[in-house]
Amino acid sequence: PESADLKVIMLGEGVAQLYVPVMFTIGPAGHSAQPTRFLINQLLVKTASGWKVSSIRPIPAPTQ
C-alpha cells in the first residue's frame, strides 16, 4: 500500500487507532490462492515504556 493509505486517528490522550490496508493471499490447501484485501485496525495505548498494541482486528475491505 501507499504510505498515504495509512491513517492514524488520535482517540484521546495516549490512545490512537491505526488503519492500514494489506493484501493477503488466501486459499485452501490444494487450490489456487486468491488475493484478499483487508483493512487492519489497530488500537494503541501509550504506556510509561512507550506505545503498546492493545488490539488488532482485520476487517475485509471492498475491492477497489
**Residue linked to cell 488475493:** 35
Query: In the structure, what pLDDT confidence band is assigned to residue 5 with cuts at 50, 70 and 90?
Result: confident
Which three three-digit cell numbers place residue 51? 506505545
Residue 44 pLDDT more than 90? yes
Q: What is the mean pLDDT of the chain?
A: 89
Give me the half-sphere count of Cα atoms (radius 13 Å) on the Cβ side of residue 17. 8
Rounded to two decimals, the pTM is 0.68
What pLDDT, on a 0 to 100 scale, did the predictor assign at position 8? Answer: 94
Q: What is the pLDDT of residues 20-43, one digit of tens each?
A: 998 889 899 999 999 988 999 999
Q: What are phi and psi of 4, to 5 degrees?
A: -70, -15
